[in-house]
Structure 1
Amino acid sequence: MFSLSKKVIIVSGGTGILGGAFIKAIASQGGKVVILGRNELTGNRRAAEINKEGAEAIFIAADVLEKDQLEMARDKVLSTFGRIDGLVNGAGGNIPEAVLAPDKDVFDLNIEGVKTAMNLNLWGTVLPVQVFGPELVKSGSGSIVNISSVSSVRAITRVLGYSMGKAAIDCYTKWFAVEMANRYGDKIRMNSIMPGFFLTEQNRTLLTQPDGTLTSRGHSIISHTPFKRFGDPEELCGALIWLLSDDSKFVTGTTVGVDGGFTINGGV
């Protein structure tokens, strides 16, 4: 069960921390991995590591907000593997300009920063779907997995742009799943994973001190997480592999929470 044998799967944000776990998991299940990202050094190194282990992977440098780069990436994938079966929209995250500093009033939001964060998380998912989606339909069992966040359903302070982008992803996942089903039946599906708190390069300084101890924000998150810890990137991979595989063939428009109980915790 949950085999990805012979499936060609694109992972945007494949050079990030979560993306690194995703590509290893896909390769371990027999998938052919396309690592999409902007960090060529990391991308090429990760592809080489996977190929050394006997699986297949290529790296393609592309910005998920640039349609022409995505189209060139699509053409390279097709010329290399001849098909596309899966897409993981892992690119996203927050940017410093979009974070409301503790000493700033709520009316001092950096609007341009908020817009940039929202655009990255929303349009950085929509554009790859528009470019790669038609090829997934042709595979006959295409699966798209978006990355949501607990900040889409719970008010998380200071990160408005990121939160709005992820809330839009929730809406998009449901809406697009229905629209695709109306046109293509079960030939292509869209679902999402809702991670809780995982340490990445983008949130590390918000959640931990330089010595690795928790900031006050980090302590607050842990206290509201029933498991009392951050997640490990590999703990997202079970849900990911299931959603990419044919064993979730009748699942679409669904969001799978992987959050250590954060969203269900009433705090009492």
Structure 2
Amino acid sequence: MKKTIVITGAGGVLCSTLAEALAMEGHKVALLDLNKESAIAAAKNIKDKGGEAIGVEANVLDEASLRQAKQEVNNVFGKCDILLNGAGGNHPLGTTSDPFLQEDDLKIKVEGFKTFFDLDPDGIQFVFNLNFIGTLLPTQIFAQDMVGRNNCSILNISSMNAFKPLTKIPAYSGAKAAVSNFTQWLAVHFSKVNIRVNALAPGFFLTEQNRTLLTNGDGSLTSRGNQIIERTPMGKFGKPEDLIGTTLWLCGEEASFVTGIVVPIDGGFSAYSGI
């Protein structure tokens, strides 16, 4: 059955790939992104391949913006059947310079060097808002279309950080843990109105947000990139296409009795003790 699917953060590599896959299954896909040009370009790519898609500007932290986007989606495609909350990310202001605090770190006065005690509350709040509030607000707006209807669902994007917090990024790890918890809470809350709620927890995928953190200019791995690969049993980064199968399953009627789960897609990273 053809559905109307709304995807936030759809201008990015991962969500634009999922949008294309869903469109190729015959669904009508609305690609929402703060960057209107990116959303429109991703939608054009889908339409050029024979799919139905529109690109819509939307700020997941602004209720008025989301309501305007919903009106546009409803006018073109009708009511939303599936919401994929893909907007998210990290910020340097919520990141420490080193993985471990050493006593001598407190004496370092180099510009840009940050210990836990130097983390900017505004940066922490930005990361929490983008990942958690940026999941909650679109759900409040678009899930109203789903109440009492059949075969509607919400798919959030958590992270394997929610299972095992990574060093240096406390804000992002905590925010994604909140997304996982919210997924479970919402699955219970919406269980009587026929809305399923699940989440993907991607491991390490190379995107424009993390490419310089994980790879050098020549394509070789940075020290952090090497750490990740050494602790990933499958020995590689994920490709955007690796998310497609689980997404199609959780959004499809084959998963009609599946709700409240968070699925790690991480090459075994979250299962590996390192020994």
TM-score of the two chains, using structure 1 as the length reference: 0.94
Note if 1:237 corresponds to 2:238.
no
Deviations 1:90-134 (A, max 9, x none): 000112222212343222222211111111000000000000011
3-state SS of 1:229 partner: coil
The residue type paired with residue 261 of structure 1 is G
Does 1:82 pair with 2:78? yes
| Structure 1 equivalent of residue 180 of structure 2 | 170
Paired residue type of 1:173 = T
Helix, strand or coil for the counterpart of 1:191?
strand
Larger mean CA deviation between 27-36 and 103-112 belongs to: 103-112
Whether the aligned pair in 2 keeps the contact of 1:13 and 1:37 (CA below 8 Å) is: yes
Does residue 265 (structure 1) correspond to residue 272 (structure 2)? The answer is yes
1:134 is aligned to 144
Instruction: Please point out which of 247, 250, 256 is paired with 1:249.
Output: 256
Post-superposition offset of 1:40: 1.9
1:1-268 equivalent positions in 2, closer than 5 A: 5-102=1-98, 103-181=113-191, 183-184=192-193, 187-268=194-275
- Structure 1 SS opposite 2:73: helix
Contact between 1:84 and 1:139, CA under 8 Å: does it hold in 2? Answer: no
- Do the aligned partners of residues 80 and 135 (structure 1) sit closer, same or farther apart at CA in structure 2, a change above 3 Å counting? same
Return the alpha-carbon distance in structure 2 between the equivalents of residues 249 and 163 of structure 1: 30
Distance 1:194 1:215 in 2: 23
Q: In structure 2, the residue corresponding to 1:58 is in which secondary structure?
A: strand
Answer whether contact 1:83 1:139 (CA < 8 A) is retained: no
Q: Is the 8 A contact 2:8 2:33 kept in 1?
A: yes
- Pick which of 138-147 and 249-258 moved more: 138-147
Residue 37 of structure 2 aligns to which amino acid in structure 1?
A: L
TM normalised by structure 2 equals 0.92
Q: CA deviation at 1:138?
A: 4.8
> d(CA) in 1 for partners of 2:230 and 2:44?
40
Distance 1:27 1:188 in 2: 21
Count of residues in Structure 1 that have an aligned counterpart in Structure 2 = 261
Q: Percent identity?
A: 43
Bigger Cα displacement from structure 2, 105-114 vs 188-197:
105-114
Q: Which has the larger radius of gyration?
A: 2
Q: Which runs of 5+ in 1 are unaligned?
A: none
Q: What is the distance in 2 between the residues matched to 1:21 and 1:246?
A: 21
Q: Kindly report structure 1 stretches of 4+ aligned residues shifted beyond 2 Å.
A: 102-106
- Bigger mean CA offset, 6-15 vs 96-105: 96-105
Secondary structure of the 1:137 match is coil
* 1:212-263 per-position Cα deviation (integer Å, ceiling 9, x unaligned): 2111111101100001110001101110111111110000001111110000
